[in-house]
Amino acid sequence: MADEAPAVGIIMGSQSDWETMRHAAECLDGLGIGYETRIVSAHRTPDRLYAYAKRAAGRGVKVIIAGAGGAAHLPGMTASMTRLPVLGVPVESKALSGMDSLLSIVQMPAGVPVGTLAIGKAGATNAGLMAAAILATHDEALAERLDAWRQRQTDGIADKPE
Ligand code: RP5
């Protein structure tokens, strides 16, 4: 296939979202999961959104992580055009600290799900981990890497504060 895709598509509404969404990418890097990154705006590049969402499954993408801020329609619109699991990351906005992003993403109508994560860096990181968990259900080697990642996290927590 000429346009074969990696397992995860990380899409975001603006270049300004990358500062948040790079944490999802770094998480996937650490777990050895392939991904692609695209700026796809629901409002500024609607045709790009349509093309990406419609073609993702056929290209081999397995999970989409979509981050956006403000009137954050990207995750929901993407989910409306693909059967792939879509993980939504509310990017922290200047005006409303990401509450607008969160509510825009989380309040989907029944029938079109978006798995919504926390606002900002924690949400982006957890979207990467959630994508890994989904992929690990059918990839034993990845499941072992994810278990090891969790164990390292546990081992890194001190018993007492210093
Ligand atoms: C949204 O508007 C983007 O997802 C971004 O979070 C927000 C602001 O975009 P810029 O004005 O920084 O490009 O579409």
**Which ligand 1 atom is the nearest neighbour of the CA of 42?**
14
What local confidence, expressed as pLDDT, does residue 4 receive? Answer: 87
In this structure, the residue with its CA closest to atom 2 of ligand 1 is 69
| Residue of minimum CA distance from atom 9 in ligand 1 | 14
pTM: 0.97
Q: Are 67 and 20 in contact (CB under 8 A)?
A: yes
Ligand 1 contacts CB of residue 68 (under 6 A): yes
Q: What is the CATH number of domain 8-155?
A: 3.40.50.1970
What pLDDT is recorded for position 3?
84
Pairwise CA distance, residues 93 & 46, whole Å: 21
Binding residues for substrate: 14, 17, 44
What pLDDT, in 10s, does the model give residues 124-161? 999 999 999 999 999 999 999 999 999 999 999 999 99
Q: Strand 86-91: give its sheet, edge to edge.
A: 35-39, 8-12, 63-69, 86-91, 115-116
User: Which residues in the chain land under pLDDT 50?
Assistant: 1
Q: What is d(CA 9, CA 131) in angstroms, rounded to the nearest whole number?
A: 10
What pLDDT, on the 0 to 100 scale, is given for residue 82? 98
Q: What is the pLDDT of residue 76?
A: 98
Question: How much is the pLDDT for 2?
Answer: 57
